Amino acid sequence: MTKRDRKHQLSDSPVVEQIPVACANELAAVEFLEQMRWGANPCCVHCGSVDVYKMADAKTGERNSRYLWRCRDCKQQYTVRIGTVYEESRIELRHWCYTFWRAATSKKGVSALEIKRHCQISYKSALFLMNRIRFAMAPDGSQEPLTGVVECDEVYIGGKPRNKGNNPRGRGTRKTPVFAAVQRHGEIRRRVVANVTGETLKSAIREVVAPFARIMTDENGAYNGIGKDFLGGHSKVCHKAGEYARGDVHTNTAESSHALLKRSIVGIYHNVSSEYLHRYLWQADFLWNARKLNDGERTVTAIKAAEGKRMMYRQPAA
Ligand SMILES: [Zn+2]
């Protein structure tokens, strides 16, 4: 271990202090991800044995430069990358740590161009990192249905500037409709929808909201009739009549989420094609749903989510 590596070795400091170190130094990144994966009980990725050790460099006695482990039972070697998303690229692990950190802590998101500049890697590698990390943030099917008061609303994302001022619901614009359901003081579920007909919007609500919830929408007629499917019924606020809240009836939470999403997409990404919009929604929903965690906890949540998803995602490695 060089003097510089020793200086950057991780101590027992809280995660939030370890992450910036792991972003700057490859050994610290390796040890951070080893700790995330195995905790205090490192084990063999091939046979599961715990009779494993870190290989040392024959000349210096320091840790092997490839950060290899060896298993005394099956005699095989491995690294922390094996069986994870990191296995499919040669991008240094400190860049993975940095990109996870930025993607999980920047309120409005972070662009691949920024990652390219900050890590001094190719744009292709930065894009690979961001795509994998957004996929790690995607819902994995274990999400609970929303309950309590659930605000439902649709928003239009994108479109060329020449379409500005057009009716966003009109034909011929390039805006992509996104449906959002937000549990008040709770989680959000957003998705790209093919259209904003009553059939589409109502089936989206039924998929993500528990049957005993109370639905709130604006006066959009597409939502008419949804109340019969929910024990809490359906309350509407009439924006056209200048009404923004009537007692506890409003869609202000959903509208704040739209504003944040638009600022993120226009401000950071400039624009996103409708084909890829769902990936940005994964990240935006993750950030919203994990907003009560601190930065360290949120980063670790994203890193751990990446582990289980490796087999589900295939694209050419960077
Ligand atoms: Zn083994």
Distance 232 CA to ligand 1 centre (A): 55
Q: What is the pLDDT of residue 310?
A: 61
Distance 96 CA to ligand 1 centre (A): 26
Domain ranges for the chain? 3-140, 149-292
318 residues of the chain, pLDDT tens digit each: 555 555 455 555 678 888 999 999 999 999 999 999 999 999 999 999 999 999 999 899 899 999 999 999 999 999 999 988 888 789 999 999 999 999 999 887 789 999 999 999 999 999 999 999 999 999 988 899 999 999 999 999 986 554 445 555 544 457 899 999 999 999 999 999 999 999 999 999 999 999 999 999 999 999 999 999 999 999 999 888 888 888 899 999 999 999 999 888 877 777 777 888 999 999 999 999 999 999 999 999 999 888 767 645 554 444
Please enumerate in sequence order all residues whose Cβ is within 8 A of that of 65, keeping only pairs 6 or more positions apart, or say none: 57
Distance 76 CA to ligand 1 centre (A): 6
- How confident is the model over 150-196, as pLDDT tens digits? 999 999 998 655 444 555 554 445 789 999 999 999 999 999 999 99
Q: What is the pLDDT of residue 317?
A: 46
Fold of 149-292: Nucleotidyltransferase; domain 5 (3.30.420)
Q: What is the pLDDT of residue 88?
A: 79
Distance 226 CA to ligand 1 centre (A): 56
Distance 52 CA to ligand 1 centre (A): 8
> Which single residue is written with the structure tokens 């940005």?
280
Q: What is the pLDDT of residue 133?
A: 93
Q: What is the pLDDT of residue 267?
A: 76
Neighbours of ion ligand 1 (CB under 5 A): 44, 46-47, 49, 71, 73-74
Distance 61 CA to ligand 1 centre (A): 23
Distance 316 CA to ligand 1 centre (A): 29
Q: What is the pLDDT of residue 307?
A: 78
Distance 69 CA to ligand 1 centre (A): 10
- How confident is the model over 253-297, as pLDDT tens digits? 999 999 999 888 877 777 777 888 999 999 999 999 999 999 999
Distance 39 CA to ligand 1 centre (A): 18
Distance 81 CA to ligand 1 centre (A): 15
Distance 48 CA to ligand 1 centre (A): 6
Distance 164 CA to ligand 1 centre (A): 60
Distance 271 CA to ligand 1 centre (A): 47
